[in-house]
Amino acid sequence: MELRQYFKKIKETEAAIKEPYLLIVSLETADGGKPGTVVEVSRHEAAKAIVENRAVLANDAQKQAHLEQQATRRKLAEKAELSRRLQIAIISDSDVREAVSRKEKVEEPKGSR
């Protein structure tokens, strides 16, 4: 493909796409491209991948599956972050009583004896 024709096709494909960001599905390529990977890209990158026969626009089922997968990953990441922050100390009743009694002894005024 001639260079001018290549960029003209990219420009035409980009003009036909309305959304600024969209999901595309990769195709198998001779240089080792992995088929079936859903990726969110800009309009220009999508047009370039389509013209180069490296990807196609994702259909509704692929979009829904991708969004559900992203939501699941987001929840797992948030849960991991929360568990990283949350610190719990398990103490026995006797430890609590001992700590309270020590606190009470410290708080007694000096003149009360």
8 A C-beta contact, residue 38 and residue 66: yes
Please write the tens of the pLDDT for every residue from 63-108: 999 999 999 999 999 998 888 887 777 888 888 888 888 877 776 6
Residue 109 pLDDT exceeds 70: no
Q: pLDDT class for 26, splitting at 50, 70, 90?
A: very high
46 φ/ψ angles, rounded to the nearest 5 degrees: -65, -45
pTM (2 d.p.): 0.64
